[in-house]
Every structure is written in C-alpha cells, then in structure tokens.
C-alpha cells in the first residue's frame, strides 16, 4: 500500500468543508495541519480611518535637501486594514470543539476500516487512522497575525495539542485515540 500524506490549512468550522470526504477516500497515512485549523479571532470590520494619501520621504536628508531634490513618494493606503478581536483561551477551546464537531472531519480523523488476512486464514477488520499533526499559525493563536508574542500563546498551543491528539474532551472518540499519545514526564 502506498503511503500518502495529506496537507491542509485554513479551516473554518462555520463554513462548508467539502474536502474531508475526498481526503478520507484517498486514505492518507498522515495529515498535516499547515496552520489555521480554526479562526478563533473575530473579524470586527474595516479600519476606514486608515484610508488616505500621505507623502513619504525616501531618505535622511534635512528639510532643505528634501525640498531641493523633491525626493519621496505618495503613499496610498487602500484597501483599509481589517480589525480583528483577539480570542481568549475559552473561545479558542470552543472553536476547536466546533471543528471536531464537523462530522466529515471527525470521520476522517477516526480513520477507516479495512479487511486483512489473519492467521488461520480468517479475515480481520483493522482500523487505519491517519497520523494527524501540524503547526500552529496566527488564527490558531487566536489573533490575526498573532505570533509567539500573543498573550495566550501557551494556552493556544495546549488547546491545539488537545485538539490534535484527543479531539475534544468528553467525546467518545477520545478514548480510542488515547493509546496513540505518549507523554514523557521525566523532567
């Protein structure tokens, strides 16, 4: 059986996610979240006060040299930048719960059955699950353009790991995934 790796990103639980069944049909050995598994921050509109035209000088000359050389350029600010409200750890957790509740994603993450020949010539059903791992990106942190300076970066990372390895606390699927996780407490 060939090994396949599927890669995806930019998933929003409130929007249609038609690719999970397609990915599941390809039966990859692994799936990599390339970032933005959720969009925990909230879009709050456009900053129209930032729209405008301004003069930008190109150097460190004094005022006389600038007037004489007329160095510089006009800078147009458009479209306006977007405004996003940062998410708290509780909101981040809720968005990961919503992503886990997307039935087609959960079916993908829980794997698929296949038949295999076992000892004695009888057929056994085996469940193959993709290894799901990935990286955290700005919206996973809970902030548009968020990075390691985000105030809830630790909590964001922990929620992402919880989502990757256990699904969502309290769901039945967690019990079947627990044996896949090894925790090293030898610090």
Encode pLDDT of 52-83 as tens digits: 777 776 566 566 665 665 666 777 888 888 99
What is the distance of C-alpha 58 from the center of its chain? 38
Q: What mean pLDDT, rounded, does the chain reach?
A: 82
Q: Which residue has the tokens 């458009």?
A: 78
pLDDT in tens, 104-145: 999 999 999 888 877 777 778 888 899 999 999 999 989 999
Higher pLDDT pick, 184 / 37: 37
Strands 82-85, 42-46: pairing kind: antiparallel
pTM recorded for the entire structure: 0.72
Q: How far apart are CA 48 and CA 129, in angstroms?
A: 47
> How many other β-carbons are positioned within 10 Å of the β-carbon of residue 144?
19
Higher pLDDT pick, 4 / 172: 4
- Return the structure tokens found at 29: 């050995």
For residue 161, what pLDDT is reported?
93
pLDDT in tens, 29-59: 999 999 999 999 999 999 888 887 777 765 6
Q: How far apart are CA 64 and CA 149, in angstroms?
A: 41
Q: How far apart are CA 129 and CA 143, in angstroms?
A: 31
């Amino acid at each position: 059986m060939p090994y396949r790796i599927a890669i995806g990103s930019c998933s929003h639980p409130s929007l249609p996610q038609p690719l999970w069944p397609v990915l599941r049909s390809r039966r990859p050995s692994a799936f990599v979240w390339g970032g933005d598994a959720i969009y925990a921050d909230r879009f709050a509109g456009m900053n129209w006060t930032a729209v405008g035209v301004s003069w930008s000088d190109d150097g460190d000359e004094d005022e006389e040299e600038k007037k004489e050389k007329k160095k510089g350029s006009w800078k147009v600010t458009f479209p306006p930048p977007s405004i996003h409200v940062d998410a708290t750890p509780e909101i981040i957790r809720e968005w990961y719960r919503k992503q886990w509740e997307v039935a087609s994603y959960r079916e993908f993450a829980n794997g698929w059955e296949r038949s295999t020949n076992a000892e004695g010539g009888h057929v056994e059903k085996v469940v193959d699950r993709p290894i799901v791992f990935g990286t955290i990106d700005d919206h996973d942190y809970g902030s548009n353009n968020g990075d390691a300076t985000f105030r809830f970066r630790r909590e964001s990372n922990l929620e992402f790991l919880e989502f990757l390895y256990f699904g969502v606390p309290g769901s039945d699927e967690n019990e079947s995934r627990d044996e896949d996780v090894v925790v090293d407490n030898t610090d």
